[in-house]
Structure 1
Amino acid sequence: MSLFQIAILLASAALIAPLAKYFRIGAVLGYLFAGVIIGPFVLRIFTDAERMLHVAEFGVVLLLFLIGLELRPQRLFAMRKSVIGAGGTQVLVSALILFAMMLAAQYGWRIAVFTGLALALSSTAMVLQVLKEQGELEHRHGRLAFAVLLFQDIAAIPMIAFVGLLAVSGGEQATMTWYGAAKALGAICIVILAGRYVLGFVFHLIAKTNVSEAMTAFALLTIVIIEIIMKSAGLSPALGAFIAGALLADSAYRHEIEADIKPFESLLLGMFFVAVGMSLDLRLITEIPGTIILAAVILMTTKGIVLFFTGRYFGLNVKSARRFAVALAQGGEFAFVLTTTALAAFVITRDFASKVNVVVTLTMVATPLLMLAEGWLSARAKPVAVTDDKHDDMPDQGGHVVIAGLGRFGQIIARVLAARKIPFTALDGDPTQIEIVRKFGGKVYFGDASRQDILDAAQVSKARAFVVCVSNPKASLKIVELVRKKYPDLPIYVRARDRNHVHQLMDHGVEHIMRETFLSAVEMSRRVLLEAGLDREEAARTIKAFARGDRARLYDDYEHYSDVQKMAESAKRHAQELSDLFATDADAGLAEDQPKKEQPRRRSRQAR
Structure 2
Amino acid sequence: MAAEISGPDLFSVVVLLGAGVVAVPLFKRLGLGSVLGYLAAGIIIGPFGLKFFSDPQTILHVAELGVVMFLFLIGLEMQPSRLWGLRKSIFGLGALQVGLCGLLLTGVGIGTGFPVAQSFVAGAGFVLTSTAIVMQLLQERGEIATPQGQRMVSILLFEDLTIVPLLALVAFLAPMGSSQGGLQWINVAIGIGAIAGLVVAGKYLLNPLFGFLAQSRAREVMTAAALLVVLGSALIMQVSGLSMAMGAFLAGVLLSESTFRHQLEADIEPFRGILLGLFFLAVGMSLDLGVVAANWKMVLFYVVAFKLVKGAGIFAVARLLRSSNREALERAVLMAQGGEFAFVLYAAATAVGILDGEANAILTAIIIFSMVLTPLFIVALRFLVPKEKQDLEEVDIADGLTGNVLIIGFGRFGQISCQPLLIRGVDISIIDNDVEMIQAASQFGFKVYYGDGTRLDILHAAGAGRAQTVLICVDKAETILTIANLIKAEFPMVQIYARAFDRGNTIELIKLGVDFQMRETFESALIFGENTLIGLGVDPQEAADITADVRRRDAERLDLQLAGGIRAGADLMKGNAPVPGPLVRPRQRGRALSDETASVLPSIQSADAN
Asked if TM exceeds 0.5, the reply is: yes
- The equivalent position to 2:304 in structure 1, one of 285, 297, 301, is 297
2:484 equivalent to 1:480? no
Alignment of 1:48-197 (within 5 A): 48-71=55-78, 75-137=82-144, 141-168=148-175, 169-172=177-180, 173=182, 174-176=184-186, 180-193=191-204, 197=207
Pair 1:219–1:340, CA change in 2 (3 A) = same
Name the structure where helix makes up a greater proportion of residues: 1
1:99-139, Cα deviation, whole Å (9 max, x unpaired): 23333344333323323322211111122223444555456
Which residue does 2:350 correspond to in 1? 343
Q: 1:14 aligns with which of 10, 21, 32?
A: 21
User: Counterparts of 1:185-264 in structure 2 under 5 Å?
Assistant: 185-193=196-204, 197-198=207-208, 201=211, 204-205=214-215, 208-209=217-218, 211=219, 213-246=220-253, 257-264=264-271
Indicate the SS of the match to 2:109.
helix
User: What is the rounded CA distance, in whole Å, between the counterparts of 1:370 and 1:181 in structure 2?
Assistant: 37
3-state SS in 2 of match to 1:367? helix
Alignment match, 1:46? 53
Measure the CA separation in 2 of the matches of 1:454 and 1:244.
Answer: 50
Letter in 2 for 1:175: W
Given that residues 35 and 375 in structure 2 are in contact (C-alpha distance below 8 angstroms), is that contact kept between their aligned partners in structure 1?
Answer: yes
Partner Cα distance (1:324, 1:278) in 2: 27
Q: Counterparts of 2:86 and 2:417 in 1: how far apart (Å)? A: 29
CA 512–5 in structure 1, closer or farther in 2 if over 3 Å, else same: closer
Q: 2:42 corresponds to which letter in structure 1?
A: G
Greater mean alpha carbon deviation, residues 288-297 or residues 122-131? 122-131
Shift of 1:334: 0.8
The one-letter code matched in structure 2 to 1:480 is: K
Shift of 1:280: 1.4
Give the secondary-structure state (helix, strand or coil) at the position aligned to 1:167. Answer: coil
CA deviation after TM superposition for structure 1 residue 286, in Å = 1.6
Structure 1 contact 467–493 (Cα < 8 Å) conserved:
yes
Which amino acid is 1:122 matched to? T
Distance, in Å, in 1 between the alignment partners of 2:346 and 2:298 is: 19
Q: 1:331 to 1:502 in 2, by over 3 A?
A: closer
Cα deviation for residue 93 of structure 1 reads 0.5
Residues 403-482 of structure 1: pairs in structure 2 closer than 5 A: 404=411, 479-482=475-478
Alignment of 1:311-390 (within 5 A): 311-378=318-385, 381=386, 384-386=388-390
How far, CA to CA, are the matches of 1:182 and 1:400 in structure 2?
Answer: 63
Q: C-alpha offsets along residues 221-245 of structure 1, whole Å, 9 cap, x if unaligned?
A: 3322222233234432223333444
- Cα pair distance change 1:376/1:480, threshold 3 Å: closer
| Structure 1 residues without counterparts, runs of 5 or longer | 445-451, 469-478, 495-500, 571-608
Distance 2:368 2:375 in 1: 12
Query: 1:200, CA displacement in angstroms?
Result: 5.8
Structure 1 residues 331 and 513, CA gap change in structure 2 (3 angstroms): closer
Deviations 1:15-52 (A, max 9, x none): 22233334443332232223223333344432323232
Corresponding residue for 2:594? none
Q: Cα distance, 1:482 vs. partner?
A: 4.8
Deviations 1:565-592 (A, max 9, x none): 976759xxxxxxxxxxxxxxxxxxxxxx
Residues 315-363 of structure 1: CA deviation (Å, up to 9, x unaligned) = 5433343222111111111110001111222233333222211211121
The alpha carbon displacement at 1:297 in A equals 0.8
Q: Measured at CA, do residues 513 and 46 of structure 1 come closer, stay the same or move farther in structure 2, by a change above 3 Å? A: closer
Q: Distance in 2 between matches of 1:568 and 1:71?
A: 48
Q: Which amino acid aligns with 2:46?
A: G
Mapped to 1, the partners of 2:185 and 2:349 lie a distance apart of: 13
Q: 1:365 to 1:555 in 2, by over 3 A?
A: same
C-alpha contact (below 8 Å) 1:90/1:306 kept by paired residues = yes
* Aligned length in residues: 516
Residues 532-558 of structure 1 deviation map (CA, whole Å, 9 limit, x = unaligned): 9x9xxxx7x677656645644665676
Distance 1:525 1:78 in 2: 44
363-372 or 305-314, which deviates more: 305-314
Task: Name the amino acid aligned to 2:198.
Answer: A
Q: Which amino acid aligns with 2:179?
A: G
In structure 2, the partner of 1:471 is none
Stretch moving more, 170-179 or 354-363: 170-179
CA distance in 2, matches of 1:80, 1:410: 39
Task: Answer yes or no: is the 8 Å Cα contact 2:121–2:349 preserved in 1.
Answer: yes
In the alignment, which residue of structure 1 is the partner of 2:605?
none
Give the CA deviation at 1:94.
0.2
Any idea what SS the aligned residue of 2:185 has?
A: coil
Write the letter of the residue equivalent to 1:170.
Answer: S
**8 Å contact 1:191–1:240 — kept in the other structure?**
no
How far residue 307 of structure 1 moved from its aligned partner, in angstroms, is: 1.7
Task: Quote how far apart the aligned CAs of 1:418 are.
Answer: 13
Structure 1 window deviating more from structure 2 (281-290 vs 311-320): it is: 311-320
Q: Whole-Å Cα distance in 2 between the matches of residues 524 and 191 of structure 1? A: 43
1:175 aligns to what SS in structure 2?
Answer: helix
- Inter-CA distance 384–154: structure 2 relative to 1 (3 Å threshold): same
Q: Retained in 2: the 8 A contact 1:59–1:265?
A: yes
Residues 319 and 325, structure 2, Cα contact 8 Å, conserved in 1: yes
Question: For residues 220 and 455 of structure 1, what CA distance do their matches in structure 2 show?
Answer: 52
| Post-superposition CA distance 1:398-432 (Å, at most 9, x none) | 68885547xxx999999999999999989899xxx
CA gap of 1:423–1:125, structure 2 versus 1, over 3 A, is: same
Partner SS, residue 287 of structure 2: coil
Q: Give the percent of matched residue pairs that are identical in Structure 1 and Structure 2.
A: 30
The TM-score, its normalising length taken from structure 2, stands at 0.69
Q: Counterparts of 2:269 and 2:394 in 1: how far apart (Å)?
A: 38
Distance 2:435 2:168 in 1: 43
Distance of 1:443 and 1:342 partners within structure 2: 64
Structure 1 Cα separation of the partners of residues 83 and 543 of structure 2: 46
Residue 317 of structure 1 aligns to which amino acid in structure 2? S
- SS for the counterpart of 1:40 is coil
Is the 8 Å Cα contact of residues 303 and 329 (structure 1) preserved in structure 2?
yes
User: Which one-letter code corresponds to 1:128 in the other structure?
Assistant: M
Segments of structure 2 that go 5 or more residues without pairing to the other structure are 1-7, 399-405, 465-469, 488-495, 510-516, 577-610
Aligned partner of residue 129 in structure 2, secondary structure: coil
Equivalent pair of 2:299/2:366 in contact (CA under 8 Å): yes
Question: C-alpha distance in 2, partners of 1:131/1:296?
Answer: 23
Deviates more, 1:85-94 or 1:33-42: 33-42
Maintained 8 Å contact 2:410/2:430: no
Q: Secondary structure at the match of 1:511?
A: strand
Q: Aligned pair in 2 of structure 1 residues 259, 523: CA closer, same or farther (>3 Å)? A: closer
Determine helix, strand or coil for the equivalent of 2:270: helix
Q: Is the 8 A contact 2:243 2:341 kept in 1?
A: no
Classify 1:214/1:167 alpha carbon distance in 2 versus 1 (closer, same or farther; 3 Å). same
Residues 519 and 267 (structure 1 numbering): CA distance in 2 closer, same or farther, change over 3 Å?
closer
